[in-house]
Every structure is written in structure tokens, then in C-alpha cells.
């Protein structure tokens, strides 16, 4: 099981991992209602290195990005669920709209996002590549999203 850590603690951990020569992968997201797509995505991300760091949007950040009805699941619960995945080593919450500052603080070896992002639009690409790392995208499992789940629940209430 992974740990939920502060940004300062994650920076310390990253420094240790760098000294040990371990390849660090970073991804981020809201992870509101966790589903199969998340599990497969995180598993693929972990396969790209030795340690997987997950930046997770706080509740306030999710509201700014997705609207006042989100998140469905509070940040403490979302973080605990993510940390319980065997492939996730560390979860760190961030309150900004993007993980730019968190990526700048930890400078991962590999930065990963879903294939709905173009490589050039991935936040933190400049930081990771300037440090000699690489940026990759992972194909999503089709028809598996929190938005789809919420829609299905809403539709079932009207029928």
C-alpha cells in the first residue's frame, strides 16, 4: 500500500529515490469515482518505471475544473483509495488547477497522461524534458470514465 504524503515529504522522497537511481513516474488527476479505467491506466503508468507518484486534485481544485457538483467523493477518501492500489507508491494532493508546481518540485523521470492529451499540451512537459526525462501518453479504456458513471446513475433515476 502506498502513502498519502505532503508536497514537502514527496520532495524528500524524490531526492532519496534519485540517489538510489530509481526511475520515477508521475501522473495526476481527479480520480473522483475510481473505476476500471483508472486501474488499467495506473498499472500501465507504473510499468514505465520503478516508483509511481500520483498528484491528485483537491476538492477545491476539482470544483474549479469540473463544476460545483464535483467531486462526488471527498479528497481524503479519494487519496486513501488511490494509495491502496498496489501500483501506487505515493499520492500527493495539489490545490492548483494544474500539477505544474508539483511537477516542478519533484521533477519525475517519466511524466504520463491519458491519450486525450497531446504530448505538447501536457503540463510539466518542459520541466521533465529539460531534466532529461520523457513524456508519454497512455490509451484509455473506452467507455470507462467518471462522467459516464455519473450519467448512467442520473439516467437510471429518470427511468
- Summarised one tens digit per residue, pLDDT across range 3-34 is 999 999 999 999 999 999 999 999 999 999 89
* Terminal alpha carbon distance of the chain: 40
Q: Is the pLDDT of residue 126 over 90?
A: yes
Q: What is the mean pLDDT of the chain?
A: 93
- Summarised one tens digit per residue, pLDDT across range 147-156 is 666 676 667 7
109 CA to centre of own chain: 15
R_g over Cα of the chain: 15
Q: Is the pLDDT of residue 114 over 70?
A: yes
Reported as type and span, the H/E element at residue 12 is helix 7-19
pLDDT for the residue 159:
65
The percent of residues in the chain predicted with pLDDT above 70, rounded, is 91
| CATH architecture classification, 3-157 | 3-Layer(aba) Sandwich (3.40)
- Summarised one tens digit per residue, pLDDT across range 26-42 is 999 999 989 888 999 99
pLDDT for the residue 6:
98
Q: Which of 133, 98, 147 is nearest to 25 (CA)?
A: 133
pLDDT for the residue 158:
73
pLDDT for the residue 39:
93
pLDDT for the residue 156:
76
Q: Which of 13, 93, 105 is nearest to 58 (CA)?
A: 93
pLDDT for the residue 95:
98
Which backbone phi and psi does 24 adopt, to 5 degrees? -105, 130
- Summarised one tens digit per residue, pLDDT across range 57-112 is 999 999 999 999 999 999 999 999 999 999 999 999 999 999 999 999 999 999 99
Cβ-proximal residues to 132 (8 Å cutoff; 6+ apart), any chain: none
Amino acid at each position: 500500500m502506498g502513502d498519502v504524503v505532503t508536497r514537502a515529504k514527496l520532495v524528500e522522497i524524490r531526492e532519496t529515490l534519485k540517489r538510489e537511481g530509481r526511475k520515477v513516474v508521475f501522473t495526476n488527476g481527479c480520480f473522483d469515482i475510481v473505476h476500471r479505467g483508472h486501474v488499467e491506466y495506473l498499472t500501465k503508468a507504473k510499468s514505465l518505471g520503478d516508483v509511481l507518484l500520483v498528484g491528485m486534485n483537491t476538492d477545491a481544485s476539482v470544483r474549479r475544473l469540473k463544476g460545483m457538483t464535483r467531486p462526488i467523493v471527498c479528497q481524503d477518501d479519494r487519496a486513501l483509495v488511490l494509495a491502496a492500489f498496489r501500483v501506487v507508491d505515493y499520492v500527493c494532493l495539489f490545490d492548483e488547477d494544474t500539477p505544474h508546481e508539483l511537477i516542478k518540485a519533484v521533477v519525475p523521470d517519466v511524466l504520463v497522461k491519458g491519450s486525450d492529451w497531446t504530448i505538447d499540451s501536457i503540463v510539466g512537459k518542459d520541466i521533465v524534458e529539460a531534466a532529461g526525462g520523457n513524456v508519454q501518453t497512455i490509451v484509455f479504456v473506452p467507455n470507462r470514465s467518471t462522467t459516464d458513471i455519473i450519467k448512467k446513475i442520473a439516467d437510471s433515476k429518470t427511468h
